[in-house]
Structure 1
Amino acid sequence: METETVDTSERFLNRLRDLYNDDEVRNIIVKSSNEKDNRILGLVINSLKKDDYILYFVTSATMYNLKSRLKDRLGKIPTINLKDKINFLGLDTFFYKFPIDKSIKSFATEQYGDYDDCVLFGDGDNDASIFFPVQDWLKSDGNLRKLEFILQHCETKKNILLTMNVSDEEEQCIYDDVDVKLVLKDNS
């Protein structure tokens, strides 16, 4: 895995867009060197708008918790549900919740009828998924295996793992599944 650090929001956006066009890169960790920096989520979403991506927002958080975290970082947000495509900050968006407290095998079998060959979401064309917050999946080996399963069984063109309030040591467990780590250096 390659780690890149950029020092301005503009360079971060440009590099992220370059990574979207790189066929060798599928899974990307994005983070700020300042764990209290709330710009990252907005920058990621803005980087997708240019190419009119379809967005899959993947979480393990409760909807209440997710709404609270999104509102803290983005301000006003629309009503979120798990059934319909909504316009979320200018992008057609689907929200997926993968429960931490349920085995991924039983979840995939219940939802998709098959475990080994299921496609959870995505078509690999002009779509991306944002995994947020990732830290819930990093807390145990079982949860980490769920994240790895989801990454393997979604067919989005790009998977963006937003690690907020996660140390480099804590996120090392997913480095084997990631192509590039992009860090926005805090210049405050």
Structure 2
Amino acid sequence: MNPSDFQRAKHASTIGGTRDSTPSTTLKIGSVVGAVIGWGLGAYSGANLMIPLVGTGAVFFAAWKLLPEDRRIALPALSVQAGHLLWFVIGMITTKTVGANALDVLWLLTGLIWLAAKPSRGPLWVLGIYQLLVLPLNFYLFLHVSVGTPAHKALLVHIVWRAMALGLMGMMYMRLRREELGSEVSSPEA
């Protein structure tokens, strides 16, 4: 078994928090909570959820096939934000408001291309800053729009997608950092 196979096997054996194949209680509880939140979000936001959700899934599966294995670390963060970007583009085309979100599209597209090409901290910073700048604006608008309106439902999905993007980028950042620290420990200087 070569070192990369060993690392993959070690990682696979710890998914779920334990060294065996039984999922941990935390994972089970998290799955139930996630399913309930997802159901609630879908029930409230309806069709607003479909484009980013389907877009995220489509990008994930396409990128899984297209990206080399060493870049797949970026798949979750890349997919969520690309699904969100797809929603922007479709919204701009259907509402004929191309200029309204042009900066969002340009910033996201640039960051996502960079992330797919070189999964590293640089594109995570670019995308993270973008999400952190826009999330408070979405939250402010969400609080000042009437509940139940299409705008309120769409803003909720924007907030959830941005929060997921930030969480997934944070996880990727920590994983990159661990790998960087691990390579420093395993290759001592002469």
**Coarse TM-score class (shorter-chain normalised):** under 0.3
Normalised to the residue count of structure 2, the TM-score between the two structures is 0.26
Structure having the larger proportion of residues in strand: 1
Flag the structure with more relative contact order, 1 or 2, with Cα contacts below 8 A and sequence separation at least 6.
1
Structure showing greater Rg: 2
Which TM-score applies when normalising by structure 1?
0.27
The structure with the largest helix share of the pair is 2
